[in-house]
Amino acid sequence: MLAVHLENGAVTVRDAPMPARPHGHALLRLLCGGICNTDLELQRGYYGFAGTPGHEFVAEVAEAEDRSLAGRRVVGEINLACMACEWCRQGLGRHCPNRTVLGIQGHAGAFSEFFSLPERNLHALDDAIPAGRAVFAEPLAAACEILEQVAIPPGDAVAVLGDGKLGLLAAMVLEAHGCRVRLFGHHERKLRIAAAAGVGCEIARGPLPTPVLPTAAYQWVVEATGSRDGLRAAVALCRPRGTVILKSTVHGEVPVDAAPIVVNEITLVGSRCGRLETALPLLAHNRIPVEEMIAARYPLREAVRAFEHAARPGTLKVLLEAGYAPSSVCLT
């Protein structure tokens, strides 16, 4: 079977052996994968990664212990939790210290014709949700996580900094929640996607990386710039006693001037992945126009070109599609 391999900055597509199916796991056949900024960071050496990446996926269940899953299209929770520790007992497997993570840490990823995940991680998809929409479940859940962590009242004004994939999703989720969202970005084409979903958008004036933004203007600021300078800009934008939600994972250190955070008593909230249960209804009801964010689709065997495309500045979501010929695959 074909599998994407990342190592020392290089993307290759290899012929790999079929993955084992550990007890409790389903064997999944990839239908569609999404290349995420995390995958590009892994390529740059984040986590010293070497292996098959991919954690945004839609797959078909090829084999499972739970017979009701057989043949179903699924998305899946990417953290493989131990289910025994204090965090797992609280239902916070995403913070399990013993976890592995699909395509990121210790578990081969989804950019492969076949891969495995625990059956308990899977969510069967409604047939009406096309794969090109469902593949956004994981990043959309990450955007929804903001509202799981911070109770932002509907009607409140929220600033979102950054018009990358996560910035757009966060802005549209908060807008759907009833917030008055202002999205600051640099790309008119991307801002148009959020504007069509009702988000108020503004081109951040001034030169990169520190555009001129309003000062102390928002009670709630979501930092999704993906840049080292995003935190400083977000803190400047936040009102005294306000909250900055940090979404960017930047490889390396982020410089912080703590004084304005202390003086203005700003709360910083780190925010990562979220629950698929929250994202799936938004996709089922097509509340968030995620498909507008698809920049290109490539067959899995052209993953090298797909990664090159995804890495071009300003590119939104690049999808990998596994067109397979079932007769050529032997499942034993």
Tokens of 108: 């081969």
CB of 209 closer than 8 Å to CB of 232: no
Q: What element of type H or E holds 308? A: helix 303-311
3-42 positions binding Zn ion, by CB under 5 A: 36, 38
Instruction: Give the total of residues touching Zn ion (CB under 5 A).
Output: 7
Q: CB atoms < 10 A from the CB of 41, how many?
A: 18
In whole angstroms, what is the distance from residue 308 CA to residue 268 CA? Answer: 34
Tokens of 318: 């690049």
80 contributes a contact to Zn ion by CB under 5 A: no
To Zn ion, the closest distance from the beta carbon of 163 in angstroms equals 17
37-66 positions binding Zn ion, by CB under 5 A: 38
Task: Classify strands 100-102 and 79-80 as parallel, antiparallel or unpaired.
Answer: antiparallel
Exactly one of 82, 92, 256, 329 binds Zn ion (CB under 5 A); which one? 82
Q: Which amino acid is at 20?
A: A
To Zn ion, the closest distance from the beta carbon of 140 in angstroms equals 11
To Zn ion, the closest distance from the beta carbon of 283 in angstroms equals 16
Instruction: Report CA torsion sign: 159, 162, 163, 169.
Output: negative
Exactly one of 11, 28, 35, 88 binds Zn ion (CB under 5 A); which one? 88
Q: Which amino acid is at 119?
A: E
Query: Smaller CB distance to Zn ion: residue 110 or 152?
Result: 110
Query: Smaller CB distance to Zn ion: residue 132 or 242?
Result: 132
**For Zn ion, what does the binding mask look like between residues 90 and 109, x meaning CB under 5 A?**
------x-------------
Using CB under 5 A, list all residues that contact Zn ion.
36, 38, 81-82, 85, 88, 96
